[in-house]
């Protein structure tokens, strides 16, 4: 049961961000992001609204995969107090691979497009999350010594 409590969030998040579920398409997010942006910026041009919509979507790419790294690291760690580089590397490699798989799947869906630029944004999110994990490791080491 303990194993499930660490790995279920990883699997649930991977299902949520998977392009086959259709939840995160530009069309689906425009239904709530664009009205919100128009409410916040009533005088903005349609080009400005579209630019902000794109920026929000690209930021979501970054955050989706940064969060995946953190969930994977948590699952590998499974409640242990120590910190292993292999757990962070494993979380990073799996996240980068899943991001590539995500873009590949999108390239095969008619309403979506796979993009190496989106994978790059995902990879930057992965690297930032790994950086945060690494800094946390350094904080722990300095408290011990």
pLDDT of residue 26: 65
> Is pLDDT of 56 > 60?
yes
Q: Collect all residues with Cβ–Cβ distance below 8 Å to 76 and sequence separation of at least 6.
A: 84, 86, 87, 90, 91
Q: For the chain, what are the domain ranges?
A: 2-144
Mean pLDDT of the 92-99 span = 96
Tell me how far apart the alpha carbons of residues 106 and 90 are, in angstroms, rounded to a whole number.
24
Report the number of secondary-structure helices (H) and strands (E) in the chain. Answer: 5, 0
Minimal CA–CA distance to 65: which of 20, 99, 24?
Answer: 99
pLDDT of residue 129: 96
pLDDT in tens, 105-140: 888 877 677 788 989 999 999 999 999 998 877 665
Tell me how far apart the alpha carbons of residues 37 and 49 are, in angstroms, rounded to a whole number.
6
pLDDT of residue 24: 62
Residue whose tokens read 């630019």 = 51
pTM: 0.84
Q: For the chain, how big is the Rg over CA atoms in Å? A: 18
């Amino acid at each position: 049961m303990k194993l499930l409590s660490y790995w279920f969030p990883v699997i649930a998040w991977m299902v949520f961000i998977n392009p086959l579920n259709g939840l995160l398409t530009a069309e689906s997010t425009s239904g709530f992001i664009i009205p919100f942006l128009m409410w916040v910026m009533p005088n903005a041009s349609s080009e400005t609204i579209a630019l902000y919509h794109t920026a929000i979507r690209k930021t979501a790419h970054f955050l989706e995969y940064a969060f995946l790294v953190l969930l994977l690291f948590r699952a590998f760690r499974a409640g242990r107090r120590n910190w292993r580089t292999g757990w962070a590397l494993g979380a990073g490699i799996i996240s980068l691979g899943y991001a590539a798989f995500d873009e590949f799947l999108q390239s095969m869906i008619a309403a979506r497009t796979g993009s190496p630029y989106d994978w790059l944004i995902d990879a930057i999110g992965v690297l930032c999350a790994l950086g945060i994990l690494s800094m946390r490791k350094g904080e722990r080491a300095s408290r011990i010594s």
